[in-house]
Amino acid sequence: MSTKRTLFDKIWDSHIVHQESGKPSLLYIDLHLIHEVTSPQAFEGLRLAGRSIRRPDLTVATVDHNIPTTDRSLPIADPISRQQIETLRENCQNHKITLYDLDSRNQGIVHVIGPELGLTLPGKTIVCGDSHTSTHGAFGALAFGIGTSEVEHVMATQCLPQSKPKTMEVHFKGKLPYGVTAKDVVLHLINQIGTAGATGYVIEYTGEAIRQMSMEERMTICNMSIEAGARAGMIAPDETTFSYLLGRKHSPKDKEWETAVAAWKELATDDDAIYDTRVEIDVTEIAPQVTWGTSPGMGADITQLVPNPASFETSTEQKAAELALQYMGLTAGTPMAEIAIDRVFIGSCTNSRIEDLRAAAEVVAGYQVAATVQAMVVPGSQQVKEQAETEGLHQIFLDAGFEWREAGCSMCLGMNPDIIQPGERCASTSNRNFEGRQGRGGRTHLVSPVMAAAAAIEGHFVDIRNWKFNRKEKADGVTS
Amino acid sequence: MESLRKHIGKVVPLDRAHIDTDAIIPKQFLKRIERSGFGQFLFYEWRFDEAGQPNPDFVLNYPIYQGASILLARENFGCGSSREHAPWSLADYGFRVVIAPSFADIFYNNCFQNGMLPLVLPEKQVQELFERAKEHESYQLTVDVENLVVTDNFGLKYTFELDPYRQHCLVNGLDFIGLTLQHEDKITQYEKTKQLQY
């Protein structure tokens, strides 16, 4: 066996608690994030089996999925949502689990607050009952989504039996062109390899384009790994990672920090380590992306046309494309840039961090949202919201006619009152364009924050590379 | 957990690829805090119209497919969210087996936690099953998990693969948490010696 190991191998190996041949490895879990929607049945299961939470100190909770993003001082109107929140409160109190509740300055989307609080650290194993847990892999952690039975399993044992996935290197070579963001890169990847292209694999993202990305951009990439079917997405930690983490609430301090950084530097994949498979993508050839269908892989360049279903290879894919166009109310051959929209959602665990809001605000500054469009910004966390307000970003959005909301998952999945109406078309910075995802009959187009912002102003999709910024001195912001 | 050794049941063909967990169980039904009772919401937006009436054009509503317990679908079944409500709703509706050429990872795992078998067959064989399900009314399959064989009443016989450990757990209805807790001493040892301290 080769002694050269990948980032994934190193974390996997160091977390094996027990191994028997022919059986899954028993892995130790360093951090378990929980939220209101996928945890109640797990707590109930524990109670019925007379089991307790092994490590409440390694378990952290917040509320994000079903909560309203309007006035936090008002009670939650929906009684079922309220009960779910109250159940989490009770459970956390009974089991002595830290909860970042609605009134906390640290509340937010679980995948935004983990990194923000320095809970997400390189080399850790991190799980959460949410598929976008892959986000945390941006820090060089092994992070993946699990179901509620597995949530209960981790609660009871702090371990999970796992079969070892295969490894895939996705190498992004070149520098990102002007107007092309991390979101476009990952949408392009999914379009290329398909929504099941990485099923059974953990992806490690490498290459010059990744190294030049900020942590926010890396999180956007890792976040959508699941949309390519991957178990997890990872990026080796480097100076960008360390400077992001330094001084965060739960990051190691002083002497411990030095020791940690030294250990984190050892995590990078060894030279000549072998991945099970490899994909190379030249990012200089990527254009701003817009999805046209009901699966994240159904996307196109802004300069392209809505495709003809007959152009797909297999009959299954042709049928999928036909159904998608029918649902989306689109005709093959329509230029992507001519698709008019009704709604804009800037938010979600994919694109609701401070950099996303800065980039969108640069586009919006000095303009008005089109009369036909209703647009909203939902910061990923209360900290992001506070930072944005300190920088005056909220005023830019409000002046342009956007709504400015409290932190949560919101219209990404529409579990709270933030939904779109049947037939409405939404430019969304979220991660899934599935049928009904944002509301029954709603039509979702996935785009980057700058593309969503520009669409809000023009009322239809536009090529952000041709955008005329009103505040010229900040125009560079579009590529950040 | 309920064991699954051999299952004989009626097949319902749902001819779509990439059926996501939002389609299987829409988000408005995820607010419940119970594990049961999700079957009534399965495929809700396809199964019911806006007034909540059954959509007669959706295959699950065809009278001939009532009582089906084996779901046949196309590739990448169960993609999207990790919500275990998806297998809960399928199981509560009455499905014990889902057959497709491929499954999304988290959904696949979640099925085994609930005594359900996500059965992978090559695309060609799935196509054959779709054709037979169309051809024969009340088309039935026998899924033998102990011997890894699928048969019908017309001479069809497919063998399939399954990870031996998953097979063992499914056939015996084992409690996964109980199995891990047998290694409690090793977990404690790991925490003492190897666990990350930050």
Sign of CA dihedral A263, A265, A271, A272: positive
Quote the tokens at residue A86.
């109250």
Amino acid at A352: S
Kindly state the percentage of chain A with pLDDT values over 70.
98
pLDDT tens for A435-452 read 999 999 999 999 999 999
Residue of B nearest to A229 (CA): B104
Per CB-CB distance under 8 Å, the chain B contacts of A80 are: 31-32
Q: Does B1 touch chain A (CB under 8 A)?
A: no
Average pLDDT, chain A: 96
Q: Does A329 touch chain B (CB under 8 A)?
A: no
pLDDT at B196: 83
- Interface size between A and B, measured as CB pairs under 8 A: 178
pLDDT tens for A391-415 read 999 999 999 999 999 999 999 999 9
How far apart CA B17 and CA B78 sit, in angstroms, is: 10
Tell me the whole-structure pTM to 2 decimals.
0.96
Q: Does B55 touch chain A (CB under 8 A)?
A: no
Q: Are A60 and A100 in contact (CB under 8 A)?
A: yes
Residue A386: is its pLDDT beyond 50?
Answer: yes
Contact A28/B20, CB-based, under 8 Å? no
Strands (DSSP E) found in A63-215: 98-100, 125-128, 142-145, 159-162, 166-173, 201-206
Q: Are B144 and B152 in contact (CB under 8 A)?
A: no
Residue B195: is its pLDDT beyond 90?
Answer: no
Residue B96: is its pLDDT beyond 70?
Answer: yes
pLDDT at A475: 46
Residue of A nearest to B30 (CA): A37
Per CB-CB distance under 8 Å, the chain A contacts of B26 are: 436, 440
How far apart CA A60 and CA A234 sit, in angstroms, is: 22
pLDDT tens for A169-203 read 999 999 999 999 999 999 999 999 999 999 999 99
Give the distance from residue A434's alpha carbon to the nearest chain B alpha carbon, in angstroms. 7
Closest CA to B112 of A223, A153, A26: A153
Give the distance from residue A74's alpha carbon to the nearest chain B alpha carbon, in angstroms. 19
Residue A472: is its pLDDT beyond 70?
Answer: no
Residue A479: is its pLDDT beyond 50?
Answer: no
Residue A73: is its pLDDT beyond 90?
Answer: no
pLDDT at A3: 87
pLDDT tens for A128-176 read 999 999 999 999 999 999 999 999 999 999 999 999 999 999 999 999 9
Which residues are registered as beta bridge partners of A258? none
Pairing status of strand A59-62 against strand A98-100: parallel
Q: Does B156 touch chain A (CB under 8 A)?
A: no
- Mean pLDDT along residues B80-93: 97
Of B164, B181, B195, the CB nearest to A28: B195
pLDDT band at A105 (very low <50, low <70, confident <90, very high): very high
Give the distance from residue B107's alpha carbon to the nearest chain A alpha carbon, in angstroms. 8
pLDDT tens for A233-287 read 999 999 999 999 999 999 999 999 999 999 999 999 999 999 999 999 999 999 9
Query: Could you say which residues from 419 to 478 on chain A have a Cβ atom under 8 Å away from some Cβ of chain B?
Result: 422, 432, 434-437, 440
- Mean pLDDT along residues A288-296: 98
The rounded Cα A40 to chain-centroid distance in angstroms is 23
